[in-house]
Amino acid sequence: MAGEEKDGKIPRTTEFEFMGPIGSVLMLVSLPLTVYYLYFACQPESCSMFDLPKVTFDLSDFLDRDAVLIFIGWMLFQTLLYLAPIGTETEGVVLRNGTRLIYKINAFYVVIVSFAMFGLGVYYDYPLHVLYDKYLQLATTAIIFSYLLSLYLYIKAAMGPPSAIAPRGNSGYFVYDFFMGHELNPRIGKFDLKYFCELRPGLIGWALLNFGMVLKIYERGEQPTAAILLVCFFQAVYVVDALWHEKSILTTMDIVHDGFGFMLVFGDLAWVPFTYSLQARYLVDHPVHLSNLAVAAIIGLKLAGFMIFRGSNSQKDAFRRNPNDPALKHLKSIPTQAGSRLLVSGWWGMVRHPNYLGDILMAISWSLPCGFNSILPWFYPLYFIVLLIHREWRDSHECKKKYGQDWDHYCSLVKYRIVPYVY
Ligand code: NDP
């Protein structure tokens, strides 16, 4: 990004991410293919990186009416809950034009209602194992929907006011802006599309897909193992925690800097639910029996990861909201020319991204219950480490631009990026 905007016009994006337009084309094709690859490579007969079962190209195997109805019904249900007159409102960060947007805070109620509705479905014997049976068709629907929504978002942005454009998705290359997101905060009236998609349909959908995997085991007349119950419980806790702390998302990179385009739309609605649920899907057909010691060790790792993740995210959030909060007076921070101070003690004095470290430890604890017979259920932690290393690099680059020499000073005080004494 270069130059300053005049008359509300956002300057052209000149610094490309993800290898620019060519990288964007590769992502647009390879990300959905990865979802399919994981599905076809991990099947009841075998779950291996190399033994690809025969892929049928019968359209009805990929897409059917029931899956489309479930997906649309789910999106409408989530929209209704978002709009319901329940919850509170809060302001987002200050935008480039000096104003702030108002955001609805009711995601915690939404997840409780969603889980309760699912529970009612189970109680009334509704065949919710359909989530396992129609997994592929549901994934295809989510992928098609992501392309369509991204196209709508691009057109909406192109026809909207220039001041609404996202600085990172304003290169003039259609494919790049389509991927990165051309508009920063697309809204229909008060309905904020990015904010809605970031935490609700995909994240809650992921937890429910997991529950659907457990129901498939019951439908077969079998009993779920501790391994699958741990995975479902851990991931449900992660989802509920994110929704409980809904407000914190308003200061994240996704909301503050990234436009809403295919990268986030697909990430939120297709990638998260249909790749993050791989561990549970694996354990339906490849049960793992854990010893009590293994269960205890896995729970210990999850708790440690959660403590670091939640402790550091809440600490920074509280500090950014009120640096003079008496509860934080024991923490040291350094002033910067840019205005906001940087923490140099507590979690943020340990490494530059303690929240990523906690997230990675939790990710490992979600795959350990799957054992080591197949690498595929380890896809999530492996991919996530790459994602967070890249994200740390992106964030550090932005912080350097924002804080200049003060950032260098901070880095000299807090030497490690994610893992103390290692990285
Ligand atoms: P962070 O919450 O890590 O925020 C980074 C920002 O924090 C910086 O840009 C800077 O912004 C501020 N900051 C950096 N260092 C300091 C400091 N020392 N003191 C005070 N402020 C500081 O950003 P993310 O959005 O990447 O991550 C949020 C959470 O989401 C993480 O826990 C991450 O693991 C998780 N996540 C999960 C994903 C998933 O798929 N499960 C995907 C991506 C993220 P400024 O100074 O401008 O305020």
Question: Per-residue DSSP letters for 151-163?
Answer: HHHHHHHHHS-GG
Would you state the structure tokens that stand for residue 263, as one six-digit string?
A: 């990268």
Q: Which residue has the tokens 């989802």?
A: 239
pLDDT band at 337 (very low <50, low <70, confident <90, very high): confident
Task: Note the pTM of the prediction, 2 decimals.
Answer: 0.90
pLDDT band at 10 (very low <50, low <70, confident <90, very high): confident
Q: How far apart are CA 95 and CA 10, in angstroms?
A: 12
Q: How many CB atoms lie within 10 A of CB 94?
A: 11
∠382-383-388 over CA atoms, to 5°? Answer: 105
Q: Per-residue pLDDT for 4 more than 50?
A: no
pLDDT band at 3 (very low <50, low <70, confident <90, very high): very low
Of the listed ranges 2-11, 85-94, 249-258, 394-403, the one predicted with least confidence: 2-11
Q: How far apart are CA 216 and CA 127, in angstroms?
A: 9
Q: How close is the Cα of 412 to the center of ligand 1, in Å?
A: 19
Pocket test for ligand 1, best of 249, 315, 320 (most atoms within 8 A of CB): 320
Would you state the structure tokens that stand for residue 216, as one six-digit string?
A: 């498939």
Q: Per-residue pLDDT for 212 more than 80?
A: yes
Would you state the structure tokens that stand for residue 282, as one six-digit string?
A: 């694996």
Tell me what the mean pLDDT of segment 118-142 comes to: 96
What is the position in ligand 1's atom list of the atom closest to the CA of 340? 46
pLDDT band at 83 (very low <50, low <70, confident <90, very high): very high
What is the position in ligand 1's atom list of the atom closest to the CA of 355? 32
pLDDT at 97: 78
Cβ-contact 282, 377 below 8 angstroms: yes
Would you state the structure tokens that stand for residue 55, as one six-digit string?
A: 């892929």
Q: Is the CB of 391 under 6 A from ligand 1?
A: yes
The mean predicted confidence, pLDDT, of the chain is 92
Cβ-contact 108, 241 below 8 angstroms: no
Q: How far apart are CA 148 and CA 267, in angstroms?
A: 14
pLDDT at 331: 86
Of the listed ranges 5-14, 114-123, 286-295, 397-406, the one predicted with least confidence: 5-14
What is the position in ligand 1's atom list of the atom closest to the CA of 352? 15
pLDDT at 339: 82
In tens, the pLDDT along 43-60 reads 999 999 887 767 777 888
Cβ-contact 403, 333 below 8 angstroms: no
Name which residue sits closest to atom 28 of ligand 1, judged by CA: 252
Q: Per-residue pLDDT for 9 more than 80?
A: no
Q: How close is the Cα of 391 to the center of ligand 1, in Å?
A: 9
**For the chain, domain boundaries:** 12-288, 290-423
Question: Per-residue DSSP letters for 378-403?
Answer: GHHHHHHHHHHHHHHHHHHHHHHHHH
Nearest residue to 356 via CA among 332, 331, 381: 381
Helices (H), 277-404: 278-285, 292-321, 347-350, 354-367, 379-403
pLDDT band at 7 (very low <50, low <70, confident <90, very high): low
Q: Please name every residue paired with 105 in a beta bridge, in sequence order, or none if there are none.
A: 88
Residue 334: phi and psi, rounded to 5, are: -115, 145
Helix axis angle for 226-244 and 107-123, nearest 10°, is 150
**What is the residue type of 287?**
P
Q: How many CB atoms lie within 10 A of CB 16?
A: 16
Q: Per-residue pLDDT for 312 more than 50?
A: yes
Tell me what the mean pLDDT of segment 272-279 comes to: 97
Q: How many CB atoms lie within 10 A of CB 83?
A: 14
Name which residue sits closest to atom 29 of ligand 1, judged by CA: 355
pLDDT at 8: 64
Tell me what the mean pLDDT of segment 287-303 comes to: 96
Q: Per-residue pLDDT for 411 more than 70?
A: yes
pLDDT at 67: 96
Q: Per-residue pLDDT for 1 more than 70?
A: no
pLDDT at 53: 67
Cβ-contact 209, 139 below 8 angstroms: no
| 325 or 242, greater pLDDT | 242
> What are the start-end ranges of the E strands in 168-243?
187-188, 191-192
Residues 6+ apart with CB under 8 A from 37: none
Q: How close is the Cα of 219 to the center of ligand 1, in Å?
A: 41
What is the position in ligand 1's atom list of the atom closest to the CA of 403? 46
Cβ-contact 93, 250 below 8 angstroms: yes
Would you state the structure tokens that stand for residue 20, as one six-digit string?
A: 């620019």
What is the position in ligand 1's atom list of the atom closest to the CA of 353? 3
What is the position in ligand 1's atom list of the atom closest to the CA of 391? 26
Residue 297: phi and psi, rounded to 5, are: -65, -40
Tell me what the mean pLDDT of segment 382-400 comes to: 91
Of the listed ranges 163-177, 295-309, 364-378, the one predicted with least confidence: 163-177
Q: How far apart are CA 63 and CA 205, in angstroms?
A: 18
Q: Is the CB of 320 under 6 A from ligand 1?
A: yes
pLDDT band at 2 (very low <50, low <70, confident <90, very high): very low
Tell me what the mean pLDDT of segment 349-372 comes to: 96
Q: Is the CB of 219 under 6 A from ligand 1?
A: no
